[in-house]
Amino acid sequence: MAEDMMDQVESGDASETGEDLLQLVSFKIGEEEFGVDILNVREINRMVEITRVPKSPEYVEGVINLRGKVIPIVSLRKRMGMPEKEQDKDTRIVVVELEDQLIGFVVDAVSEVLRIPRNITEPPPETASGVDAEYITSIAKMDERLLILLNLNRLLAFGDREVLKEAA
Amino acid sequence: MSDELEMMGDIIEEFVVEAEELVEKLDGDFVTLEKQPDDGELLNEVFRSAHTLKGMASFLGFAGITKLSHRMEDVLNKLRRGERTLSPGMMDVLLEGMDRLRTLVEEVKEHQKEASDVSDVVEKLQGVLEGAAVLEESSETVVNGVEGDGAEIIEAEAGKDASSDASEEEEASPESEEPVKEEVPVIPEKEEEEDAGDTMDVDAFSEEMTEILQDFILETEEIIEKLDHDLVALEGRPDDLDLLNEIFRSAHTIKGTSSFLGFTQMTRLTHRTEDVLNKLRKGELSVTADRMDALLEAADAIKMLLDRIKEQNLEKVDLSHVTAMLEGTMTEQGGTPPVREQKPADAEPEAEKPVDKKPAAQASVKEAPGEAKSSPPKMPGKSVTDQTVRVDVDRLDNLMNWVGELSLEKNRLNRITSLFEGAEDVEELSGQLNDVNAKMAFITTELQTAVMKTRMLPVGKVFGKFPRMVRDLARDAGKQIDLQISGEETELDKSVVEEIGDPLVHLIRNAVDHGVEMPADRAKAGKPEKGTVKLCAEHQGNHIVIAIEDDGKGMDPEVLKKKAIEKGILTEADAERMSDRDAWNLIFAPGFSTAAKVTSVSGRGVGMDVVKTNVAKLNGIIDIDSELGVGTKILIKLPLTLAIVNGLLVKVSDEIYIIPLVSVLETVRPQPEQMSTINGREVIRLRDHVLPLLRFDEVYNVPRNNGHMDIPYVVVVALADKQIGLAVDDMMGQEEVVIKTLGKYLGDMQGIAGSAILGDGRVRLIVDVADLVRMGKEE
């Protein structure tokens, strides 16, 4: 997987000034393509066995052992209200670091690392393809495709703890 | 103990932080309370918060906060006991009190002292206390008619309030186990006095000095602690010249170091103390109770001076009282009995004149400390300095040693791995591999133990303060008590040591106050006049068991039940079928206090509640055994460490969970006839006990394919004084695991204490027995 990611880096659309570039990790959930800032991403792992945590919010899949650390795993599908899907060989756990904590989230497949100029991003429309607008930072329009840039803090319920608590 | 002091650091700042938290919490709780006025648990919670705040403030001498929180506590106490119901008007006053508390804390934060006057709110609260009807005229009735109508109902309460009221110097609140009797009132008054008491100016706290100062503080703390201990010992062995010399040397050292650093007040005081000790040593004076009081008083004063140095507060303190006492003991020569043997017979013949050495004001506020107790030792818990451990070099060497062994084995492992490539004799290699594996397992276990040991402290750290405390308590109560301590070298994790001090204080106070009888009563009962309280610690497997045992009057289950019924904690029907053991456990119920008369040691039943809460927090178990007329024994069983837990692995459907072994009493394969239901709740009968039974899969929503199960195994878990049965599918053995939190993201999950990574690399969850027991109660 590492190689195909490297390939893709080269194929990134943007190579203008090098200054106002966003470097993203993009991944797929269903037919849609999402991106998160690469600076947040610590690593990408294959699926491992997840230990369920009773009474946790429904979108929390459980916890895993990441080299001796116990980290929570969130299902982005459940979090964004999309139908569930059996895991397969492409399923990945993207581990991100937010507020000094590691959190993993499950995605259908990781596609590539890419660079895009900031100026091709737009604020999200009110209803963006079934995903709650509040979880979206912006939308990048590239040639044939649409990349949804996710607001991880929102999505992973930072600053949204009340919801988490209630659910718990 | 010196640790405890070490941790106190900038105590005021810490106080502010904690007080702000408490006020914040109180605020929220009050609002909830208004919506749920019948929530007893919440009321207790609010009461405890107010109580803690009062304790801390009184400890530091913030009179306004103390008074105000004291009054609020009074009102809350009435609510808690159901003597009042919460009216909106009452809530208004309480909330007003809250706001003023917040202001006061603000003021302390800004200027290190209180500025605004709160007597108006205090009066309003007083009014509420006397009944909402008299709210307007309340101002006239502040000082005397304290309890008004409430008085007959609980004479204890009235007595307490009247006396604490009479002495508005609540700030004096003496702390017997934190010997600060003298200094506390001094702080607020001296605040304005610019008259610098010590020659050292603020430069004393420049960076270069800090290190020297820290050494000085650390060392002096240790010496004072020792001094305290030795002085109490001396009272019992007045002829022990070695001990006297030891004490003399301690005082001398403090004098030397303090004079070197220019703390003149401390130097002068230790000098005087040394004078007295010198005369004792030479046999020119004999050891009498009064002299001991003066010396102990002096030790307290030195400690107080040290605390102030720690706070970088060098203002002069009024020590005339202590020095006068010391002087007095030196000139009083004629009046002292010439024979030394007169003393040793028993340490407390002075019981008849217990107050003469203390200023009247302080004697009269003796009521307060019972509750104030709980808070001061808690404060250090949050300190930053608290995060360091002093480790014996031997232990570090040992640790190094094991790490060395580990890397040796790692190298061996590397070599074997490389040999595997293209190896023919795989059998030989696998034999070697097995060998390495076994060694690695051994080393890692040792390594784990060694690391754990760096966190271990002897429990004696906490025990150290008790001889003095028991002495003072016994003297004040006119009792004769011998405290026997054993097992103080027993080690346990630093975090546990810190948490256990508080409950022990309460249990020992309880033993002294409620357990041991007055000398006359004891004589009548045919017991020696001098009672015994035993405090003993020992290891039992992976646990430590601390026993507090007295040879007093024991606890009468019937009396306890009656009291509990009176207080509305228990219904008559429940009392009927309650076992003795359960009756004894009633003393841990919030708001339960059996003392007919409130003394300095028995509070409002907060103490035992604190014991239970703290022990439960540590996943400990409390066991009581008592025999009427013979005595009471309370056992506390605690895990040695909070970082590693020995867990029982249980299987439920397809999931595996870890139950901390310290909480497990036994596991049983229940027979059908043992199971039944009471009021629709499942219970299991175990010998003469009936325990609530929880089905693990139901509590933890474990998905299950095969319908309703029968119950192959039941794990009996206990927490503090409660027990429940937990139905599981299978036992998977036990394993020692390192506890890992689930992290901030998941936060506190109900029923889960944390997680651990097992040998197979999978994460398993550790069951929170405290939550389980609570659920067992609620269901």
Chain A interface includes B655 (CB < 8 A): yes
Element (H, E) at B70: helix B63-80
B436 vs B430: CA distance, rounded Å = 10
Largest CA distance in chain A: 50
pLDDT score recorded for residue B777: 65
Residues of chain A neighbouring B763 (CB-CB closer than 8 A): 51, 62-65, 70
Single-letter amino acid, residue B165: D
**HSE of B64, CA atoms in CB hemisphere, 13 A:** 24
| ipTM of predicted complex | 0.79
B34 vs B13: CA distance, rounded Å = 32
Report the chain B residue with the minimal C-alpha distance to residue A161. B745
pLDDT score recorded for residue A106: 92
Chain B interface includes A168 (CB < 8 A): yes
Chain B interface includes A69 (CB < 8 A): yes
Residues of chain A neighbouring B740 (CB-CB closer than 8 A): 69-70
Question: Given an 8 Å threshold on Cβ–Cβ distance, is B752 in contact with A161?
Answer: no
B22 vs B14: CA distance, rounded Å = 12
Nearest neighbour of B742 by CB, restricted to A53, A65, A164? A53
**B127-179: per-residue pLDDT in tens?**
777 764 444 333 333 334 333 343 333 333 434 444 444 444 434 344 333 43
Chain B interface includes A94 (CB < 8 A): no
- The residues that bridge with A113 in the sheet, in sequence order, are A25
- E-strand spans in B127-197? none
Report the chain A residue with the minimal C-alpha distance to residue B696. A54
Higher pLDDT, A27 or A9: A27
Q: How far, CA to CA in Å, does B600 sit from each of B92, B164, B510?
A: 32, 11, 11
B575 vs B569: CA distance, rounded Å = 10
The answer on pLDDT for B669 being more than 60 is yes
Question: Given an 8 Å threshold on Cβ–Cβ distance, is B752 in contact with A54?
Answer: yes
B510 vs B537: CA distance, rounded Å = 18
Three-class secondary structure of residue B740 per DSSP? strand
Higher pLDDT, B197 or B650: B650
Query: How confident is the model over B380-401, as a mean pLDDT?
Result: 65
| Whole-angstrom Cα Rg for chain B | 29
The answer on pLDDT for B458 being more than 60 is yes
Question: Given an 8 Å threshold on Cβ–Cβ distance, is B762 in contact with A68?
Answer: no
**A31-77: per-residue pLDDT in tens?**
889 999 998 899 999 988 899 999 888 889 999 998 878 999 998 88
Chain B interface includes A129 (CB < 8 A): no
Q: The tokens 């904590």 sit on which residue?
A: A101
Q: What is the mean pLDDT of chain B?
A: 74
How many contacts (CB atoms, under 8 Å) link A and B?
66
Report the chain B residue with the minimal C-alpha distance to residue A97. B745
Question: Given an 8 Å threshold on Cβ–Cβ distance, is B746 in contact with A63?
Answer: yes
Among the residue ranges A24-28, B84-88, B448-452, B468-472, the one predicted with the least confidence is: B84-88
Q: How far, CA to CA in Å, does B47 sit from each of A168, B92, B119?
A: 27, 17, 21
> What CATH number is attached to the domain comprising A40?
2.40.50.180
- b/e for B323-349, b at 16 or more Cβ within 10 A? bebbeebeeeeeebeeeeeebeebbbe
Reading the block at residue A48, the tokens are 């491992």
The answer on pLDDT for A127 being more than 80 is no
Q: The tokens 């939550």 sit on which residue?
A: B771
Nearest neighbour of B746 by CB, restricted to A60, A64, A65? A60
Q: Among candidates A157, A145, A86, A116, which has minimal Cα distance to B743?
A: A157
Q: Is the CB of residue B494 less than 8 Å from the CB of residue B455?
A: yes
The answer on pLDDT for B690 being more than 50 is yes
Query: How confident is the model over B183-191, as a mean pLDDT?
Result: 37
Distance from CA of B653 to the nearest CA of A (A): 13
Question: Given an 8 Å threshold on Cβ–Cβ distance, is A51 in contact with B764?
Answer: yes
Q: Among candidates B712, B738, B736, which has minimal Cα distance to B726?
A: B712
B155 vs B465: CA distance, rounded Å = 32
B399 vs B452: CA distance, rounded Å = 10
Higher pLDDT, B323 or A130: B323
- The residues that bridge with B627 in the sheet, in sequence order, are B631
Distance from CA of A9 to the nearest CA of B (A): 32
pLDDT score recorded for residue B546: 92
Report the chain B residue with the minimal C-alpha distance to residue A103. B745
Confidence tier at B192 by pLDDT (50, 70, 90): very low
Three-class secondary structure of residue B175 per DSSP? coil
The answer on pLDDT for B761 being more than 50 is yes
Reading the block at residue B218, the tokens are 């650390």
Long-range contacts of A8-11 (CB under 8 A, 24+ apart): A8/A111, A8/A112, A8/A113, A8/A114, A9/A112, A9/A113, A9/A114, A9/A115, A11/A112, A11/A114
Q: What is the number of structural domains in chain A?
A: 1
pLDDT score recorded for residue B331: 64
For every residue of chain A, which 3-state class applies, written as one string? CHHHHHHHHHCCCCCCCCCCEEEEEEEEECCEEEEEEHHHEEEEEECCCCECCCCCCCCEEEEEEECCEEEEEEEHHHHCCCCCCCCCCCCEEEEEEECCEEEEEEECEEEEEEEEEHHHEECCCCCECCECHHHEEEEEEECCEEEEEECHHHHCCCCCHHHHHHHC
For every residue of B590-625, which 3-state class applies, written as one string? CCCCCCCCCCCCCCCCHHHHHHHHHHHHCCCEEEEE
- Expressed as residue numbers, the domain containing A51 is 2-167
B241 vs B337: CA distance, rounded Å = 18
Question: Given an 8 Å threshold on Cβ–Cβ distance, is B743 in contact with A71?
Answer: yes
Q: Indicate which of B745, B755, B764 best probes the interface with A, i.e. most A CBs within 10 Å of its own CB.
A: B745
The answer on pLDDT for B318 being more than 50 is yes
pLDDT score recorded for residue B363: 35
Chain A interface includes B755 (CB < 8 A): yes
Single-letter amino acid, residue B244: L
Reading the block at residue B615, the tokens are 């022990």
Long-range contacts of B233-238 (CB under 8 A, 24+ apart): B233/B467, B234/B287, B234/B292, B235/B287, B235/B289, B235/B292, B235/B343, B235/B347, B235/B471, B236/B344, B236/B347, B237/B344, B238/B286, B238/B287, B238/B340, B238/B343, B238/B344
Chain A interface includes B752 (CB < 8 A): yes
Q: Report DSSP letters for B397-436, one per residue.
A: HHHHHHHHHHHHHHHHHHHHHHHHTT-S-HHHHHHHHHHH
pLDDT score recorded for residue B588: 81
**B248-304: per-residue pLDDT in tens?**
888 888 887 887 777 888 888 888 888 888 888 877 788 787 888 888 888 888 888
Chain B interface includes A66 (CB < 8 A): no
Chain A interface includes B739 (CB < 8 A): no
Reading the block at residue B388, the tokens are 């360091």
A28 vs A36: CA distance, rounded Å = 11
B394 vs B454: CA distance, rounded Å = 10
Chain B interface includes A41 (CB < 8 A): no
Reading the block at residue B713, the tokens are 């195994």
**B536-591: per-residue pLDDT in tens?**
998 877 778 999 999 988 888 888 888 888 877 778 887 887 888 888 888 887 76
Query: How confident is the model over B308-329, as a mean pLDDT?
Result: 78
pLDDT score recorded for residue B468: 83
Question: Given an 8 Å threshold on Cβ–Cβ distance, is A51 in contact with B763?
Answer: yes
Q: Report DSSP letters for B219-261, one per residue.
A: HHHHHHHHHHHHHHHHHH-TT-HHHHHHHHHHHHHHHHHHHHH
Q: Indicate which of B701, B758, B763, B771 best probes the interface with A, i.e. most A CBs within 10 Å of its own CB.
A: B763
Nearest neighbour of B749 by CB, restricted to A53, A101, A157? A53
Chain B interface includes A167 (CB < 8 A): no
Report the chain A residue with the minimal C-alpha distance to residue B702. A54
Q: Angle B498-B503-B509 (CA atoms, 0-180°, nearest 5)?
A: 130
B58 vs B770: CA distance, rounded Å = 32
A158 vs A150: CA distance, rounded Å = 13
Q: Classify residue B514 by its DSSP letter.
A: I
Query: How confident is the model over A131-135, as a mean pLDDT?
Result: 69
Highest mean pLDDT among A21-30, B35-44, B269-278: A21-30
Among the residue ranges B222-231, B383-392, B562-571, B680-689, the one predicted with the least confidence is: B383-392
Q: Indicate which of A47, A51, A105, A164 best probes the interface with B, i.e. most B CBs within 10 Å of its own CB.
A: A51
Q: What percent of chain B has pLDDT over 70?
A: 77
Q: Beta-carbon neighbour count of residue B471 at 10 Å?
A: 24
Look at the alpha carbons of B127, B133, B134, B135 in this order and tell me if their dihedral is positive or negative: positive
Q: The tokens 């033993």 sit on which residue?
A: B511
Report the chain A residue with the minimal C-alpha distance to residue B761. A65
pLDDT score recorded for residue A130: 58
B303 vs B309: CA distance, rounded Å = 10
Chain A interface includes B702 (CB < 8 A): yes
Chain A interface includes B760 (CB < 8 A): no
Distance from CA of A155 to the nearest CA of B (A): 12
Question: Given an 8 Å threshold on Cβ–Cβ distance, is A54 in contact with B700?
Answer: yes
Question: Given an 8 Å threshold on Cβ–Cβ distance, is A55 in contact with B747?
Answer: no
